[in-house]
C-alpha cells in the first residue's frame, strides 16, 4: 500500500511541478524575496519552465498560484533550500509521499487560515468529514456545516466570522487544495485522501468534552491565552463542581510540563476562592505546584506574599512555558517582568538566580536567556495611519504594551485622551481595564511583538467610540541592534485632526511637527 501511495503522490501535478521548479532553480540558485518567495520579475521565467504562459509583469508571486503553489511545495518538501537570499536545488524526490504531505500542509497554512488563528489542518479534517460523510460540497452548504462543527468543537468563535476579508472561506480553500492534491475526488476520499485523513486524526487534538481526560485537556490548552483556555475549558467542566475540577486537574498537572501546570493553576484561579481553597487543602500537594499555590493564595487575599525563592522559581516556570510555546523573545520579557516582582534584574544576577532556583528546567531557561540578556530590545517601525492623507511613522520597542502604544498615538495625533478607545487584534479587543468595557481584555497584557508578530502585520486602534477615529497600525519592519530609550516619531504627513470641530468657531489645523511630537513622547517616557 505505501508504494501505491508513493506512486499516486509522485503523479500529483503539484509535486511534478515542484520537482521541475527545483531543477529550474539549479545548483546556482535564484534570488528570492525576504519571505522566501520568487521575485515577481522571475515568475515569467519560472512559468515558462512549467510550460505556463504568464503576463510579463505581476505584483507578487502569489498572484500566479500555478507557480506559487509548487514553489511552496518544493520548499516545504526540501527540494529547494533557501539561504542568504537565494533558493537552490537541494536534491532529488526520494520520498514522494513525504513531499506530498509536506506540500499539502504548507499550502493549507498559506491559504486555509482563518481569523481565529486555528491550525488549518483542523479545518481540513472537518472539511473532509463534511464532504465525504454528508456529501456537502457546494459553497454555502459547506461553509454552514463546517462553521457549525468548528463552533461545536470550540475551535471557532460563534460570534466572529472565520473568513478573512477578501479571501476564500477556510473550508472552501481546504477543499480546493485537497482536490488539487488528489485527496478528494468529487465527494469521495481517494487512497491518498484516506491516508491523509488518518494522519490528520493523529495530529488534530480531540474535541473537548466532559469525557476528555484532564491530562489531554491541559495538553490542548497549554500555551493558549487565558481567555481562549477558559472558553474551551468550560466545555470540559460540564456538571463538575469546583472541588471536582480541582481534584481532577491537580494530579494531571503534577507530572505535566510547566505550560500545562500554569494552565491548570490559571483555570483554578478563574474558578474563584472556593477552588483556590480546595487547591490549598489538596493532600498530598505536588511539589511543583506548591509555589503556584502560595502565590495564588496571596492573589486571592488568603495568604501573605510568597518569599523570593518562590518568586524566582515561578519566574523560571513561566519563562520556560513562554520559551516552549512562544519563543525566546516572549520568554525574555516574561523573565524580566517576573524577576522584577522579586526586585531582581535579569541582566545583573537574574540568570544566576534562575540557575540556582531548583527548578527542573532552570538550566535550559538560563541558557536561552543568556543569548538575549544584555542585548538591545528589538525596535518596531510602525506606520500609523488615520487616513491616506494623515499618517505617522514611529519607532517603538517591541516589548511595549498596547497601553503604551495608546499613549504614543495620543501624542502622535494631538488627541486630548478624553475619550474611550479600543485596540482590535485579530478577533479580540483590548482596552484600558479601568474603563470596564465589556468583551475587552486589559491592554497592558498584550505586547507589540505579540500583537504584530511579523512584518506587514496590522492591528487597529479606535479613539472616541462615538466619533470613531480609526488608526490602522502596520508593522513595516523590525530593527535589531538599535537601542531606543523612548518612542520616536521619524516622519509623517498630514495635519493633526480637529477633535472638537465647531463650524461656528472653526479652528486652524495643526500641521505635522515631528519635533513637537518627540517632545511630547519625551515627556511621556519621563512619567
**pLDDT tens digits for range 220-263:** 999 888 888 898 899 899 999 999 999 999 999 998 999 999 99
What's the whole-number mean pLDDT along residues 111-118?
A: 89
Instruction: Give pLDDT tens digits for 439-450.
Output: 889 999 999 999
Confidence of residue 55 (pLDDT cuts 50, 70, 90): low
Residue of 208, 214, 286 whose CA lies nearest to 244: 214
Give me the pLDDT at residue 56, please: 63
Grid cell 468529487 in the structure block, residue = 186
Q: Which of 406, 356, 400, 352 is closest to 380 using CA atoms?
A: 400
Closest to 86 measured CA to CA, from 136, 142, 33, 43: 33
Q: List pLDDT tens digits, range 491-501.
A: 999 999 888 88
Q: Which residues are within 8 A (CB) of 218 and not within 5 positions of it... i.e. 6 or more apart?
A: 249, 252, 253, 256, 260, 263, 264
Decide: 521 and 408 in contact? Cβ < 8 Å.
Answer: yes
CA dihedral 141, 145, 150, 154 (to 10 degrees): 130
Whether residue 315 has pLDDT greater than 90: yes
Q: 307 versus 426: which is more confidently predicted? A: 307
The pTM assigned to this predicted structure is 0.75
For residue 520, count other CB atoms closer than 10 A to its CB.
17
Using an 8 Å Cβ cutoff, are 455 and 476 in contact? Answer: yes
Strand pairing class (188-189; 379-387): unpaired
pLDDT attached to residue 1: 47
DSSP 493: E
Amino acid at each position: 500500500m505505501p508504494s501505491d501511495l508513493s506512486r499516486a503522490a509522485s503523479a500529483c501535478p503539484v509535486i511534478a511541478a515542484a520537482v521541475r521548479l527545483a531543477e529550474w532553480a539549479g545548483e546556482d540558485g535564484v534570488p528570492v524575496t525576504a519571505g522566501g518567495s520568487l521575485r515577481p520579475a522571475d515568475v515569467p521565467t519560472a512559468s515558462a519552465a512549467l510550460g505556463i504562459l504568464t503576463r510579463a509583469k505581476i505584483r507578487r508571486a502569489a498572484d500566479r498560484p500555478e507557480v506559487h503553489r509548487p514553489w511552496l511545495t518544493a520548499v516545504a518538501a526540501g527540494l529547494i533550500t533557501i539561504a542568504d537570499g537565494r533558493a537552490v536545488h537541494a536534491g532529488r524526490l526520494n520520498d514522494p509521499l513525504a513531499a506530498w504531505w509536506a506540500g499539502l500542509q504548507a499550502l493549507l497554512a498559506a491559504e486555509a487560515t482563518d481569523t481565529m488563528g486555528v491550525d488549518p489542518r483542523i479545518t481540513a479534517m472537518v472539511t473532509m468529514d463534511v464532504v465525504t460523510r454528508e456529501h456537502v460540497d457546494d459553497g454555502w452548504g459547506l461553509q454552514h456545516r463546517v462553521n457549525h462543527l468548528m463552533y461545536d468543537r470550540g475551535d471557532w468563535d460563534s460570534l466572529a466570522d472565520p473568513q478573512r476579508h477578501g479571501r476564500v472561506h477556510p473550508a472552501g480553500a481546504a477543499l480546493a487544495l485537497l482536490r488539487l492534491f488528489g485527496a478528494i475526488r468529487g465527494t469521495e476520499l481517494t487512497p491518498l485522501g484516506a491516508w491523509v485523513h488518518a494522519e490528520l486524526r493523529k495530529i488534530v487534538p480531540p474535541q473537548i468534552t466532559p469525557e476528555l481526560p484532564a491530562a489531554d485537556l491541559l495538553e490542548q490548552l497549554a500555551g493558549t491565552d487565558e481567555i481562549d483556555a477558559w472558553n474551551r475549558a468550560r466545555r470540559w467542566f460540564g456538571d463538575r463542581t469546583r472541588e471536582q475540577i480541582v481534584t481532577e486537574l491537580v494530579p494531571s498537572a503534577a507530572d505535566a510540563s510547566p505550560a500545562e501546570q500554569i494552565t491548570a493553576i490559571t483555570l483554578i484561579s478563574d474558578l474563584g476562592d472556593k477552588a483556590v481553597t480546595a487547591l490549598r487543602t489538596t493532600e498530598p500537594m505536588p511539589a511543583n505546584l506548591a509555589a503556584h499555590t502560595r502565590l495564588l493564595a496571596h492573589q486571592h487575599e488568603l495568604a501573605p506574599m510568597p518569599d523570593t525563592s518562590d518568586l524566582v522559581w515561578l519566574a523560571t516556570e513561566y519563562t520556560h512555558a513562554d520559551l516552549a510555546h512562544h519563543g525566546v523573545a516572549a520568554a525574555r520579557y516574561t523573565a524580566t517582568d517576573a524577576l522584577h516582582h522579586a526586585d531582581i534584574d535579569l541582566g545583573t544576577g537574574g540568570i544566576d538566580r534562575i540557575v540556582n532556583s531548583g527548578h527542573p528546567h532552570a538550566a535550559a531557561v538560563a541558557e536561552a536567556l543568556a543569548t538575549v540578556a544584555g542585548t538591545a530590545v528589538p525596535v518596531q517601525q510602525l506606520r500609523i495611519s488615520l487616513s491616506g492623507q494623515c499618517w505617522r511613522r514611529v519607532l517603538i520597542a517591541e516589548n511595549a504594551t498596547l497601553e503604551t502604544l495608546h499613549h504614543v498615538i495620543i501624542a502622535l495625533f494631538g488627541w486630548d485622551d478624553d475619550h474611550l478607545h479600543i485596540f482590535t487584534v485579530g478577533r479580540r479587543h483590548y482596552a484600558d481595564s479601568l474603563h470596564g468595557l465589556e468583551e475587552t481584555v486589559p491592554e497592558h497584557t498584550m505586547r507589540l511583538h505579540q500583537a504584530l508578530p511579523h512584518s506587514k502585520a496590522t492591528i487597529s486602534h479606535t479613539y472616541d467610540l462615538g466619533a470613531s477615529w480609526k488608526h490602522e497600525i502596520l508593522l513595516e519592519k523590525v530593527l535589531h541592534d538599535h537601542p531606543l530609550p523612548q518612542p520616536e516619531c521619524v516622519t509623517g504627513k498630514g495635519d493633526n485632526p480637529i477633535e472638537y470641530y465647531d463650524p461656528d468657531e472653526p479652528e486652524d489645523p495643526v500641521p505635522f511637527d515631528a519635533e513637537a511630537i518627540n517632545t511630547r513622547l519625551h515627556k511621556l517616557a519621563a512619567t
